[in-house]
């Protein structure tokens, strides 16, 4: 019988032909942790009586969630994971280098067909490169670090076929918000999502990352895409590792197949306090906002800042409104500076903060006040997510955020795109 993408990748890593719902022990190609999770990775690794990481080149530790450190409690955790990473000679990224899910693919650590485990739920981002990547907890990652393996249940798959072409002013963020709204926060629990169809093929790799990144917001374990020329060009530019792309067989078995025509899709937002609380921008247009945020592992890439800069060029952010921007890596910061995007955003009145996760996870760099509305390009709008349980977070595309900070109200970006 035919296999899905994930059945093929697990078959390769388990050394035998496997199908959905089987339990396998599989070899992993790479694992990672960040500063919010690596402290416990180290504790569990030591409690397992492990002394050396299975392969120091195959584990990354990234300080990104509270970076640079905002207080002494965080500094103590940073020191602990910095000392461990240096002692173990891991792929280590200290403060300011960027967000893990940008750095890991950007530095070429993962390639199509790989199996990757990260102590961060958005590890599924690399699925855009045909990488079977999934988030797990710290002790699971410690087991990977100690043994180079872990146990997995081979998941069933849901196929999302996206036909048509996204209209102008509508982006991959709008598409993934729409899909999450359709299936709900647990619509793909324990599943592997496969995104396919002409609308996906049309997207750049940057835009594809946004879609795979948010697979976890419907409970999924993986958010996979097949390889095409864009994937191959991107991977060859960033990595020297050998790889083998995996695609689904025509007779592969799916739990569910959903078909959408995206040609008439409008800009979307997720309203507080749930990611699946999705509606078209027009339904909440006019809602006052106090802060915008462009960045994160979802939408902090070069193309995202290009879109925002195009809308904000020659404009000013409304008085009394803040716009925080955080490029997802140091490399992206430099690229966006070269292209003039950062100049444009600063001229409009934006505040540039260190590449990292801070504002999204509420550690620092933009905690909202009580009763304030925030419009953000991040992937979660849970109560308290940005550091204040009395604030309200709306999720949208970089274009919608840029248009909204000009007016101070949630605004359809298509009005600002000629």
What are the residues binding other proteins (CB under 8 A)? 23, 25, 35-37, 39-40, 44, 47-49, 65-66, 71, 73-74, 76-77, 118-121, 123, 135-140, 142-143, 146-147, 149-151, 153, 185-186, 189-190, 216, 219, 221, 274, 276, 361-363, 380, 382-385, 387, 389
In the complex, minimum distance from the CB of residue 142 to other proteins, in angstroms, rounded to a whole number? 8
In the complex, minimum distance from the CB of residue 281 to other proteins, in angstroms, rounded to a whole number? 23
Number of alpha helices (DSSP H) and beta strands (DSSP E) in the chain: 15, 18
Q: Which is nearer to other proteins, 198 or 389 (CB)?
A: 389
Q: Residue holding tokens 């195959």?
A: 58
In the complex, minimum distance from the CB of residue 11 to other proteins, in angstroms, rounded to a whole number? 18
Instruction: Please give the DSSP secondary-structure letter assigned to residue 128.
Output: G
Q: Which is nearer to other proteins, 134 or 404 (CB)?
A: 134
Q: Which is nearer to other proteins, 1 or 72 (CB)?
A: 72
Q: Which is nearer to other proteins, 136 or 405 (CB)?
A: 136
Q: Which is nearer to other proteins, 191 or 203 (CB)?
A: 191
In the complex, minimum distance from the CB of residue 101 to other proteins, in angstroms, rounded to a whole number? 12
Q: Which is nearer to other proteins, 71 or 263 (CB)?
A: 71
Instruction: Please give the DSSP secondary-structure letter assigned to residue 226.
Output: -
Are 166 and 199 spatial neighbours (Cβ–Cβ below 8 Å)? Answer: yes
How would you label 317-349 residue by residue, b for 16+ Cβ within 10 Å and e otherwise?
A: bbeebbbbbbbbbbbbbebbeeeebbebbeebb
In the complex, minimum distance from the CB of residue 249 to other proteins, in angstroms, rounded to a whole number? 25
Q: Which is nearer to other proteins, 150 or 397 (CB)?
A: 150
Are 10 and 115 spatial neighbours (Cβ–Cβ below 8 Å)? Answer: yes
> Angle CA(106)–CA(146)–CA(140) in degrees, nearest 5?
75
In the complex, minimum distance from the CB of residue 20 to other proteins, in angstroms, rounded to a whole number? 14
In the complex, minimum distance from the CB of residue 141 to other proteins, in angstroms, rounded to a whole number? 9
| Count of alpha carbons within 13 angstroms of residue 66, beta-carbon side | 21
* 358, containing H or E segment: helix 358-361
Q: Which is nearer to other proteins, 59 or 142 (CB)?
A: 142
> Which residues sit opposite 157 in a β-bridge?
192
Three-class secondary structure of residue 279 per DSSP? strand
In the complex, minimum distance from the CB of residue 47 to other proteins, in angstroms, rounded to a whole number? 5
In the complex, minimum distance from the CB of residue 139 to other proteins, in angstroms, rounded to a whole number? 4
For the residues of 180-225, what is the DSSP string, one character each? HHHH-TTTTTTPEEEEESHHHHTS-HHHHHHHHHGGGGGT-SEEE-
In the complex, minimum distance from the CB of residue 409 to other proteins, in angstroms, rounded to a whole number? 27
Instruction: Please give the DSSP secondary-structure letter assigned to residue 324.
Output: E
Q: Give the number of other CB atoms < 10 A from CB of residue 264.
A: 9
Calculate helix-pair angle for 330-338, 341-348, nearest 10 degrees: 80
Q: Which is nearer to other proteins, 102 or 379 (CB)?
A: 379
**Token pair listed for 259:** 């078909």
Three-class secondary structure of residue 115 per DSSP? strand
Residue 311: phi and psi, rounded to 5, are: -75, -35
Rounded Cα distance, 373 and 388, in Å: 11
Q: Which is nearer to other proteins, 198 or 382 (CB)?
A: 382
């Amino acid at each position: 019988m035919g296999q899905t993408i994930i059945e093929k990748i697990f078959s390769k890593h388990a050394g035998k032909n496997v199908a959905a719902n089987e339990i396998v022990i599989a070899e992993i190609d790479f694992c990672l942790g960040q500063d919010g999770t690596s402290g416990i990775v180290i504790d569990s690794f030591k409690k397992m009586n492990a002394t050396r990481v299975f392969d120091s080149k195959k584990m990354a530790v990234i300080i990104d969630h509270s970076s640079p450190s905002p207080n002494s409690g965080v500094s103590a955790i940073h020191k602990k994971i910095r000392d461990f990473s240096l002692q173990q000679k891991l792929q280590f990224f200290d403060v300011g280098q960027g967000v893990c899910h940008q750095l890991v693919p950007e530095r070429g650590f993962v390639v199509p067909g790989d199996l990757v485990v990260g102590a961060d739920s958005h590890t599924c981002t690399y699925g855009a490169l045909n990488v079977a990547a999934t988030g797990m907890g710290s002790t699971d990652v410690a087991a990977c670090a100690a043994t180079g393996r872990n146990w997995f249940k081979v998941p069933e798959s849901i196929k999302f076929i996206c036909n048509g072409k996204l209209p102008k002013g509508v982006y991959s963020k709008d598409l993934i918000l729409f899909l999450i709204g359709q299936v709900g926060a647990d619509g793909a629990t324990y599943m592997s999502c496969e995104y396919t169809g002409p609308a996906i093929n049309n997207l750049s790799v940057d835009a594809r990352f946004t879609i795979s990144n948010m697979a976890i917001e419907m409970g999924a374990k993986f958010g996979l895409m097949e390889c095409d020329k864009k994937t191959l060009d991107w991977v060859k530019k960033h990595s020297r590792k050998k790889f083998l792309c995996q695609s689904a067989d025509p007779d592969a078995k799916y739990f569910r197949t959903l078909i959408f025509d995206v040609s008439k899709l409008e800009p979307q937002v997720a309203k507080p306090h749930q990611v699946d609380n999705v509606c078209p921008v027009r339904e909440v247009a006019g809602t006052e906002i106090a802060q915008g945020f462009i960045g994160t592992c979802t939408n902090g890439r070069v193309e995202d800042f290009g879109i925002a800069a195009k809308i904000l060029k020659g404009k000013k952010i409304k008085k009394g409104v803040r716009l925080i921007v955080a490029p997802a890596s140091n490399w992206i910061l430099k690229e966006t500076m070269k292209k003039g995007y950062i100049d444009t955003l600063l001229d409009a009145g934006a505040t540039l903060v260190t590449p990292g996760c801070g504002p999204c996870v509420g550690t620092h760099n933009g905690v909202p006040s009580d009763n304030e509305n925030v419009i953000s390009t991040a992937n979660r709008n849970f109560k308290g997510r940005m550091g204040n349980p009395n604030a309200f977070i709306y999720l949208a595309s970089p274009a919608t955020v840029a248009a909204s900070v000009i007016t101070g109200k949630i605004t359809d970006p298509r009005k600002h795109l000629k």
